[in-house]
């Protein structure tokens, strides 16, 4: 199994520099990871660094709180694609999830997906703030809205990916892609997430994992 292709090699720190992104992309090429995940202002730079490789460029939208308006998230996504992003990781409006305004979440995901066409959309539901029932409801909405992945976490919340959350999401979405992200630092963590049903792993520790 090509475990390296599960990994979105991630650097989303506020203080990341161009040198840090250069190192990230060089590691991604060396280990042939699926993608690098960087903040939007580094998308065009990462795209240039990865030219000639099959490593994708992923970026984050509405990050990390998810509290931007739908119009802003759509603009962010459009701008990211224009700058060379291959994949978009978008945070839902978590307040709306807690209010059980699931139609709002559905319409927001649809709006972003419609504007990025065939590009991959991963939807971050931030499981640490949701009850089990809310996780199930929102995961089903992500699938219904024709996104490509349910993603567990930003890594900036009160908790990251948990094996139990992956299993819970898998139980309701079935044959649908799941990205586990946040706090995955050891080989044991990595393999547990895959065994539970994750098909992509977001981690800043990809080099050590492989």
Where on the phi/psi map is residue 135: left (φ > 0), alpha (ψ -120 to 50), or beta?
alpha
Contact 127, 160 (CB under 8 A): no
Among 73, 122, 143, 151, the active-site one is 151
Look up 96 and say whether it is catalytic. no
Verify whether residue 89 is a known catalytic residue.
yes
SS3 content of the chain, % helix, strand, coil (to 5): 50, 20, 35
How many DSSP H helices and E strands does the chain contain?
A: 9, 8
Please tell me the number of Cα atoms within 13 Å of 149 on its side-chain side. 26
Rounded Cα–Cα distance for residues 10 and 40 (Å): 13
Task: At 51, list the tokens.
Answer: 């030219």
Catalytic site residue from 8, 73, 86, 89: 89
φ, ψ at 55 (rounded to 5°): -75, 130
What is the CB neighbour count within 10 angstroms for residue 93?
20
Helical axes 132-144 vs 163-173, angle rounded to 10°: 50
Angle 195-5-200 from CA coordinates, rounded to 5°: 50
Q: Which residues are catalytic?
A: 89, 151, 179
């Amino acid at each position: 199994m090509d475990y390296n292709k599960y990994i979105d090699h991630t650097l989303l720190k506020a203080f990341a520099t161009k040198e840090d992104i250069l190192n990230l992309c060089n590691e991604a090429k060396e280990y042939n990871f699926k993608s690098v995940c960087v903040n939007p202002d580094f998308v065009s730079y990462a795209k240039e660094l990865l030219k000639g490789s099959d490593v994708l460029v992923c970026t984050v939208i509405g990050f990390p709180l998810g509290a931007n308006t739908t119009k802003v998230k759509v603009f962010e996504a459009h701008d990211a694609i224009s700058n060379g992003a291959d994949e978009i990781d978008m945070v839902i409006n978590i307040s709306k999830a807690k209010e059980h305004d699931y139609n709002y979440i559905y319409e927001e995901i649809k709006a972003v997906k419609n504007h990025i066409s065939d590009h991959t959309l991963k939807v971050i539901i931030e499981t640490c703030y949701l009850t089990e029932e809310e996780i199930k409801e929102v995961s089903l909405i992500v699938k219904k809205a024709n996104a490509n992945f349910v993603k567990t976490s930003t890594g900036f919340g009160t908790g990251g990916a948990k094996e139990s959350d992956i299993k819970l999401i898998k139980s309701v979405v079935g044959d649908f892609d799941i990205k586990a992200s946040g706090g995955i630092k050891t080989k044991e963590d990595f393999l547990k997430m895959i065994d539970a049903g994750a098909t992509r792993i977001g981690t800043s520790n990809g080099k050590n994992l492989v």
